[in-house]
Amino acid sequence: MSVLLGICGSIAAYKTHELIRLLIKNHIPVHPVLTEDALNFVTRTSIGTLSGCKPYHSLYENEEGADHLRLTKETDILVIAPATAHTIAKCALGLCDNLLTTLFLAYRGPKLICPAMHTEMWENPTTMSHIQSLRQSGCHILGPITGDLACGDSGTGRMVDPTLIVEAIQCYLKDPLPLAQKSILISSGGTSEPIDPVRNISNASTGKLGHSMAHMAAFMGAKVTLVTTKPIVSNPLITSIKTVSTASDMQKTLQELIPSHDTLIMSAAVSDFTVAPSPQKLNRKSSHHLNLIQVPDILSSLSSHKSNKTYIGFSLADKNTQKIALEKLHSKNLDFIVSNTSDNIGSDIRNVDIYSQNGLKKNLVNQSVSDTAHEILQLIP
């Protein structure tokens, strides 16, 4: 797995340093190609040092020639980040007057374009037409997002976060899944029950896997609604993100949303107990007893909405994992359940078992979060 990374002349080019660092951290080699304008924002030295590969920028710098053919055959995906309006126009029109656009025209693998430009340039009908043309030719377009821009302005045109670009690269290098137009509701993170205005009962769930599934499903064309307790990097392809805190908040939100979705993936770690919170901060010098109150079972409360929907639940236990998972699978009327242990919490490597109503379906060992997300999404009919 390797990336051919095109870098254009945008102020957002400084983010490519972080993008390259993240790709290398994920064991994905990077072959950088810079336009002449990109050299006004980053240097060949910095890009070459971070990537460990010679950065290219000219069609004529290699005496042996044909770099555009060699590089297209040695890499698995072409990514242009940031992609300026100028380069986007050239790619859409088939103009190839520099190394990057020549590579783009010759490249036969997947292509990912991450635009970055001022709002007026992005919203110009000509740019919109070029973007539509690139989409129709099979290019993946990620972004831009709304936020702070150069010169103190704010609006749509900001390049997406490098961590999201890495998620997209990992997704588009996997086998595609038939998720287009599927409506998927995903819960993620760990709920928190307040004790007083500054303390709470919670758990160690990070939401990594749930967020990865949300990103991946959106990249593959699904209409995704994410209900989460954790911050998530902005992804313009996710239809809606609802932020909640308590188990009660999550239950209410899911009950409102489930009728309009085909699939529910309940990956959130929901608190088992809540308390009657104190309206004021409790004094540590006084003795206090917490009266734990069992919270309603969210999945059970959603069973009346199931009909022909697909429900995927999660089970976490350190002993009798199979027995506990199968009991939950049947008692909650789930189609599938993902069984894991506390060792998986926050880990970048996952070991899980997936059970269907017919028994063990998949045993996943030493899988990345991205690979685990892909395996779970394959369960959706």
Q: Is 171 a catalytic site residue?
A: no
* pTM summary value: 0.93
Do residues 267 and 210 make contact, with C-beta atoms less than 8 angstroms apart? Answer: yes
Series of mean pLDDT values for 10-residue runs along the chain (381 residues): 96 97 96 96 96 88 63 93 98 94 95 97 97 97 92 91 97 95 96 92 94 98 97 96 96 96 96 89 81 89 90 95 94 95 92 92 94 97 93
Give the per-residue pLDDT at 360: 82
SS3 (DSSP) at 149: coil
CA–CA dist 247, 332 (Å, integer): 17
Give the per-residue pLDDT at 67: 60
CA–CA dist 315, 317 (Å, integer): 7
Q: Which of 53, 96, 151, 171 is catalytic?
A: 151
Q: Would 3-172 and 183-272+290-377 be classified into the same CATH topology?
A: yes
Radius of gyration of the chain (CA): 24
Which residue carries 């394959």 as its tokens?
378
**What are the residue ranges spanned by the domains of the chain?**
3-172, 183-272+290-377
- Rounded alpha-carbon distances, angstroms, from residue 148 to 11, 160, 222, 240: 12, 12, 28, 21
Do residues 10 and 159 make contact, with C-beta atoms less than 8 angstroms apart? Answer: yes
CA–CA dist 34, 27 (Å, integer): 22
Q: What is the pLDDT of residues 161-172, one digit of tens each?
A: 999 999 999 999
Give the per-residue pLDDT at 322: 93
Nearest to 138 by CA among 102, 158, 113: 113
CATH classification (class only), 3-172: alpha beta
CA–CA dist 51, 329 (Å, integer): 46
Give the per-residue pLDDT at 144: 97
Residue at 184: amino acid letter = I
Q: Are strands 263-266 and 183-188 parallel, antiparallel or unpaired?
A: parallel
Give the per-residue pLDDT at 90: 97
- Polymer length in residues for the chain: 381
Residue at 178: amino acid letter = P
Do residues 210 and 187 make contact, with C-beta atoms less than 8 angstroms apart? Answer: yes
Give the per-residue pLDDT at 105: 95
Give the per-residue pLDDT at 68: 63
Structure tokens at 225: 């609604």
CA–CA dist 245, 180 (Å, integer): 30
CATH architecture for segment(s) 183-272+290-377: 3-Layer(aba) Sandwich (3.40)
**Which residues make beta-bridge pairs with 223?**
183
